[in-house]
Amino acid sequence: MTGQAPARQGASGSSPGPSPWADAVLAAAALAVDPAGLGGVVLRSPPSPLRDNWLDLLRQGQPPDAPWRRVPLHVTDGRLFGGLDLAATLRAGKPLAERGLLAECDGGMLILASAERLSAATAARLTATVDRGMVAVERDGTTARHSARFGIVALDESLDDSEAVPPALADRLALHIDLNGLRRGESPETVFTPEEIAQARKRLRTVTAAESDVELLCGVALALGTGSLRAEALALRFARVHAALHGRTTLAKADCEAAARLVLAPRASRLPLPDDEPPAAEEHQAETPPEDGEGDDRGSDSPPEDLVLAAAQAAIPPRLLAQLQSAVGRPRGRSAAGRVGALQLARRRGRPVGTRRGDLAGGNRLNLVETLRTAAPWQPLRRRRQDGADAGPRMEVRRDDFRIVRFKQRSESVTIFVVDASGSAALHRLAEAKGAVELLLTDCYARRDQVALIAFRGAGAEVLLPPTRSLVRAKRELAALPGGGGTPLADGLDAALALAEAAKRQGRTPSLVLLTDGRANVSRDGSGGRAQAEEDAQRAARRIRGAGLAALFIDTGPRANPFARDLAAEMGARYLALPRADARSLSAAVQDAGQSAGAPEAVA
Amino acid sequence: MAEPYPFSAIVEQEEMKLALLIAVIDPSIGGVLVFGHRGTGKSTAVRALAALLPKMQVVAGCRYHCDPQADPRACADDCSLRRGRKPAELKSKAVPVPVVDLPLGATEDRVVGALDLERALTAGVKAFEPGLLALAHRGFLYIDEVNLLEDHLIDLLLDVAASGENVVEREGLSVRHAARFVLIGSGNPEEGELRPQLLDRFGLSVDVTTPEDLASRVEVVRRRDDFERHAAAFLAKWKRKDGQLRRKLTAARQRLDDIQVPDGALERVAELCMKLGTDGLRGELTMIRAARALAALEGAKSLNDDHLRRVAPAALRHRLRRDPLDEAGSGVRVERALQEVFGT
């Protein structure tokens, strides 16, 4: 692509951004220089030779005796923090402590495999350790503080955006690298030797940053909307490491640029002010920054912030760029809601509510700790029964001791709003319908229901909002809903049914709230014609009744429509005409519809 | 080992800092809820505050951080106080005020305490292993992402926080021990909301935002950077300010009971709460207590309207009958009501 990049990038001012792989190599060197200061890296890549290659680079850069520990996904507290070594204790018959993984990692790297599936709880333990640079072991009789300063390599193997490294952890890791689709050798990369890295480590303490550098990085971060203030602090740290790697003791513009590219750009939540021309998207590789003089450090005409910003912008990963461009005006909480949704979904299989006696059949989950607890008091007795034979196991567990985890599954309700946004509805009452939905949303908030939003108009139906608990988002989608076009009522009902079935499969209890004037005029195949459209709608309505969904039909027409009333009957829905549907009766009706849908809780 | 960041060096976030100080002066206020984005220094502030407080005296070897001056009967059964010694004979030692993190996904047994598996297995005795609540006694319990915590755990925590006592009845154990701590919850509202019933039980609530102006962002980053690179020099630089604040806090705690509360103030608070339609009396009580703590902090003899005004948003904003669709937030409504009751 660029081809003309000089071999030692940073040493000679700015240049069109180096290839992503060259940046990844740079990141490995930087992380090897200052693992604890930079926090670590989110390395997004499936297992691949390229990833192994990167990890090798990082490992070679470390001091020879520095620890390198892989942490499995479901690591226990005991192993992570240290504490009682259960196996050794049982064998020896006296408490034996073990040192935890976190303390063992001190001064080295902690590798998290499949970090995208890391539980928020484990992430919280890691972040607490990272924040304090030590682990505190507080167990009965022992109180210990171990230094634990290390870098984290979070291997993110997610394929799409439905999974991601827990945001609280990602926020503390300076580098976010995406190896997907990268190839080696697009531009020459600089591999630092272990000696160079060791020297940089020594030099790092002496690197000074000018006030203007801090301002520069903060300005860029602000323009990119990186949110958390940790971004700037980490960027500054990185710039310093970069300078140390290149033999400098004061920050140069190239250092800030590298920091903007590697630390700030991947966290962008907005594009810098689009004042003059639209930002260059795909062709950022080929593009040469405007009037960027060769290799002077601080003397170019345009303000340094613009140049650094341009460097950062060019480094925004294409995937993120596409997201940013499509999400105009979205707040920066964009992905967080989705992630938490996924997290709660995982828990939704029920939360453990204690244990009960039981056998290990049919996929029951043994609660080992409770089982041992149950067995423990009996040990002296059982040992005596063995006639003092030493051959027996130290711990005797009997079948009666087995304790099985009980789950309580709270079936959450999802209220699916299906809103007619067609021309006829828009003409009459779309605004009022929106008002009614807002009232109902308020009601759902109080009950902690989830809500989903489907709109239909023109050629089809669209799921505007998959089930969520964020009322703010629901309101935003609703407010932005345009009106106009035909009334594909059948499509709307089909979409609602599909969403309801999906919710059911996830163990939730769906109910439908349909707001329409019932004047269907677009049939399933997309053609006009009232007769066919109405027939299709009736067929869709019968399927809804067949699925046993609780439904509420709110007729938004200016006067009661016999067809709408019939359709409601076909659906098995309660029928309510909006003229009489004031706030109170509306919410009461929705509540009734929800309650008839089944018992909310079941204990397995 | 690593010293925490100094409290006085935290840039801006005045409302959060004040709320934390108030909660320390009068722990009966019942905890602080901090809502805001990541990286706004929430957990830094809590840790810094704990480090700022004077070390506390505990009975040496007591697992519940018992105060040597306290009534020995208040401690759980196995405290050394019970071993037939008088308070004067007890060995005590000074320890830093604890800050205990309650991680998401913590299990109930870890929080309240449970049968000590280690001793059960090795010695075959039934003994109680204290949980996080015991560790947090006389200190802080900090819950990040409180809005994502299981509801039943929050219920439990709020109960203990309100009663100051942890009662454990499980696995054949029957233990009760004192657990008085300042509960601090933080979270990001975009990721899910806290049930209104739970909101109401936190004493104070503050919203923090990432500063959007360049100057303070630069200041935050610079100080953080200074601290990380030259920790000793940085700590020394802020030591005096932290010391001043520590003395102020100690004095305020002693003075707290002597602060006069004029009748007129009570009436105005009641009027304000009625205007805002807050349910129950908790709002009024918290507001008076918080204002009293603020008055003590500032060395006043009695609380005045200015104190009330300043604590009103934190004490009331989370108690309003909330309209979740009103994005303007409840702070504005409190402000408006304040204008009406107190004038400008």
Chain A neighbors of B229, CB-CB under 8 A: 205
Residue B326: the pLDDT is 54
Indicate the residue of B41, B107, B118 with minimum beta-carbon distance to A84.
B118
Output the pTM of the full model.
Answer: 0.66
- Spatial separation of the C-alpha atoms in residues A540 and A494, rounded to whole Å: 6
Contacts of A211 in chain B (CB under 8 A): 218, 222
Closest residue on chain A to B323 (Cα):
A442
A274, pLDDT greater than 60:
no
Average of per-residue pLDDT values in chain A: 73
Alpha helices in chain B (DSSP H): 14-25, 42-52, 108-112, 117-122, 132-135, 151-163, 196-199, 214-229, 231-255, 263-276, 282-297, 305-316, 330-342
pLDDT band with cut points at 50, 70 and 90 for residue A239? very high
Tokens for B327, please give them. Answer: 């994005």
Cα distances (angstroms) measured from residue B54 to each of A1, A254, B96: 62, 46, 7
Least confident stretch, A163-172, A536-545, B142-151, B277-286: B142-151
pLDDT of residue A33: 92
> Which tokens in the block code for residue A577?
């005409």
Is B30:B183 a contact under the CB 8 Å cutoff? yes
The greatest distance separating any two alpha carbons of chain B, rounded to the nearest whole angstrom, comes to 69
Most confident range, picked from B102-106, B192-196, B304-308: B304-308
Confidence (pLDDT) at A354: 66
Task: Provide DSSP, B26-74.
Answer: -GGG--EEEEE-TTSSHHHHHHHHHHHSPPEEEETT-TT---TTS-GGG
Higher pLDDT, A255 or A276: A255
For residue A366, what pLDDT is reported? 66
What is the DSSP code (8-state) at residue A269?
S
The pair of structure tokens assigned to A2 is 């660029």
Segment A409-437 shows an average pLDDT of 72
pLDDT beyond 80 at A405:
no
Distance CA A516, CA A552 (A): 11
> What does the pLDDT read at residue A159?
72
Among A12-26, A206-220, A537-551, B18-32, which stretch is predicted with the lowest mean pLDDT?
A: A12-26
Look up residue B231 and give its two tokens: 């920790």
Q: For A43-66, how does the pLDDT look when each residue is reduced to its tens digit (9 = 90+)?
A: 988 888 889 989 998 998 888 888
User: Of residues A115 and A331, which shows the higher confidence score?
Assistant: A115
Q: Which residue has the higher pLDDT, B115 or B182?
A: B182
d(CA A516, CA A6): 64
Mean pLDDT of all residues in A574-589: 65
Residue B18 pLDDT: 92
**Token code pair at residue A50:** 């390229």
What pLDDT, on the 0 to 100 scale, is given for residue A428? 59
DSSP A152-173: EEEEE--SSTT--S-HHHHTT-
Neighbours of A56 (CB within 10 A): 11
Q: Is A282 helix (H, G, I), strand (E, B) or coil?
A: helix
Contacts of A551 (CB under 8 A, 6+ apart): A511, A512, A513, A514, A544, A568, A571, A572, A573, A574, A593
Q: Classify residue A260 by its DSSP letter.
A: I
Q: What is the pLDDT of residue A240?
A: 92
Whether the per-residue pLDDT at A394 is higher than 60: the answer is: yes
Query: If we measure between CA atoms, which residue out of B331, B328, B327 comes closest to residue B311?
Result: B331
Q: Decide if pLDDT at A205 tops 80.
A: yes
Q: Which residues of B are catalytic?
A: 282
CA distance A443 to chain B (A): 10
Range with the poorest average pLDDT among A76-80, A219-223, A279-283, A348-352: A279-283
CB contact under 8 A, B47 and A132: yes
Q: Is the pLDDT of residue A203 over 70?
A: yes
| Average of per-residue pLDDT across A360-387 | 69
Residue of B nearest to A231 (CA): B39
**Could you give all domains of chain B from N- to C-terminal order, each with its CATH number?**
7-55+96-208 (3.40.50.300), 259-342 (1.10.8.80)
- Cβ atoms of A544 and A586 within 8 Å: the answer is no
* Residue A4 banded pLDDT, cuts 50, 70, 90: very low
Cα–Cα distances in angstroms (integers) from residue B118 to residues A89, A136, A364, in the given order: 8, 19, 26
Q: Confidence band (pLDDT; 50, 70, 90) for B22? A: very high
The pLDDT of residue A241 is 93
The Cα–Cα gap between A476 and A473 comes to 5
Return the SS3 of A138: strand
CA distance A373 to B117: 6
Q: How far is B178 from chain A (nearest CA, A)?
A: 18
- Lowest-pLDDT choice from A135-139, B207-211, B338-342: A135-139
CA distances to B24, B183, B316 from B206, rounded to whole Å, are 15, 14, 10
More confident residue, B251 or A585: B251
Which pLDDT belongs to residue B117? 67
Burial A581-599 (b: 16+ CB within 10 A, else e): beeeebbebbbebbeebee
Average pLDDT value for chain B: 80
Contacts of B40 in chain A (CB under 8 A): 228-229
Percent of chain A with pLDDT over 70: 65
Instruction: Please provide residue A523's backbone torsions phi and psi, each rounded to the nearest 5 degrees.
Output: -85, 180
Inter-chain touch B195–A448, beta carbons under 8 Å:
yes
Q: Residue A273: pLDDT above 80?
A: no
Residue with tokens 């035909």: A486
Task: Please give the average per-residue pLDDT across A101-117, as a whole number.
Answer: 88
Residue among B139, B150, B89 nearest A138 (CA)? B139
**Structural domains of chain A sorted by starting position, each given as residue range(s) with its CATH number in brackets:** 18-191 (3.40.50.300), 207-272+303-324 (1.10.8), 351-410 (no CATH), 413-603 (3.40.50.410)
Average pLDDT on B313-341 reads 73
B76 vs chain A: nearest CA distance in angstroms?
A: 15
Give pLDDT, residue A55: 92
Span B10-22, mean pLDDT? 89
Which of A491-500, A558-567, B67-76 has the least mean pLDDT? B67-76
Task: Choose from A80, A140, A150 for mutation: most chain B CBs within 10 A.
Answer: A140
- The answer on pLDDT for A298 being more than 50 is no
Mind listing the pLDDT tens digit for each residue in B214-250? 888 888 888 888 888 888 889 899 888 889 999 999 8
Task: Give the amino acid at A235.
Answer: A
Q: Count CB atoms within 10 A of the CB of residue A548.
A: 11
Q: What is the percent of chain B where pLDDT is above 70?
A: 82
> Of the ranges A187-201, B30-44, B65-79, which one carries the lowest mean pLDDT score?
B65-79
Q: Which residues of A touch B104 (CB under 8 A)?
A: 120-121, 124
Residues of B with Cβ-Cβ distance to A469 under 8 angstroms = 192-193
Q: What is the mean pLDDT of residues A166-175?
A: 87
Give me the DSSP letters along A408-470.
EEE--EEEEEEEE-SHHHHHHTHHHHHHHHHHHHHHHHHHT-EEEEEEEETTEEEEEEEEES-
Structure-model confidence comparison of residues A382 and A246, the more confident one: A246
Which residues are within 8 A (CB) of B343 and not within 5 positions of it... i.e. 6 or more apart? none
Provide the pLDDT for residue A30.
92
Straight-line distance from the first to the last Cα atom of chain B, in angstroms, rounded to the nearest whole number: 50
% of chain B with per-residue pLDDT over 90: 6
Nearest to A230 among B39, B120, B126 (CB): B39
Residue pLDDT, tens place only, B76-125: 655 545 555 665 666 777 888 888 888 766 667 778 887 776 666 666 67
Which is more confidently placed, A388 or B130? B130
CB pairs under 8 A between A and B: 170
Instruction: Tell me whether residues B148 and A472 touch, CB distance under 8 A.
Output: no
pLDDT exceeds 70 at position A245 = yes
* Placement of tokens 């027409």 in the chain: A557
Site of tokens 């040990």: A379
Q: Which value does ipTM take for this structure?
A: 0.72
How many alpha carbons lie under 13 Å from residue A78 in its C-beta half-sphere? 11
